[in-house]
Amino acid sequence: MQFSLWLALVGAGTLISFTPGAGAISTMSNSLNSGFRRSIWGVLGQQLALIIHIVIVALGVGVLVSGSPVVFNVIRYAGAAYLVYLGIRQFLHKPDLDKEKVEDRRNEPALSMFQRGVWVNLLNPKAIVFFLAFMPQFIRTDQPLLQQYLVLTATVVTIDILVMWFFFALAARTFQRFTHDQRGQKILNRIFGCLFVAVGVLLAAIH
């Protein structure tokens, strides 16, 4: 991949990663509940889903998904339902200042956070459609394809990790002052609950 083309990829990938979405909301929620350092597990789960999307598109399966309204809608509504479920659960979560329970939330198993990150990103067929439109701009068919896909994947994943962890996860720390009393916790739970539900509804409604 030419250096100028790679720079264009970096610029586009950075802009995309900074666009708020379910991944950013999930990262901020993890950072608040489990701490900045441990929120990386959710971010890594999101990257696995991103890699799967890239592989799907690279293999041409993305064309089938985007071209089949039934398949697309099944995945779309499943993803929307999952986000709404996360939102309702967060919204209804009762504030709890008990030190042991707070510690339990902060010690959520890394695998649990990783899996949630995977599902948040994976159940979004619009990502496949997006990569179908995005990836060809940076792939040259007259050059070795595998090398180009590897560079593209490594670049996009690295950018997304940096943005999710060092921007959204860090940004969540500004809300930590609300976690020291029940009223603050209730406000945060409702804010993030509503954000998850809003993203889920948008995912289901926007065609």
* Residues 75-127: tens digit of each pLDDT: 678 777 877 887 788 788 776 655 555 455 567 889 999 999 999 888 876 67
> 131: pLDDT confidence band, cut at 50, 70 and 90?
confident
Dist CA 121 CA 94 (whole Å): 26
The per-residue pLDDT for 100 is 53
Decide: pTM greater than 0.75: no
Counting DSSP H helices and E strands in the chain, the numbers are 11, 0
Q: Is the pLDDT of residue 203 over 80?
A: no
The per-residue pLDDT for 64 is 64
The per-residue pLDDT for 47 is 94
Give the DSSP letter string of 14-81.
HHHHHS--HHHHHHHHHHHHH-TTTTHHHHHHHHHHHHHHHHHHHTTHHHHHHH-HHHHHHHHHHHHH
- 163, 47 contact by CB (below 8 A): no
Domain boundaries, the chain: 22-205
Dist CA 176 CA 180 (whole Å): 8
Dist CA 48 CA 117 (whole Å): 9
Short-list 149, 205, 192, CA closest to 22:
192
Q: Dihedral of the CA atoms 88, 91, 95, 100 (nearest 10)?
A: 40
What percent of the chain is predicted at pLDDT more than 70? 79
Burial of 111 (0-12, 13-18, 19+ CB in 10 A): exposed
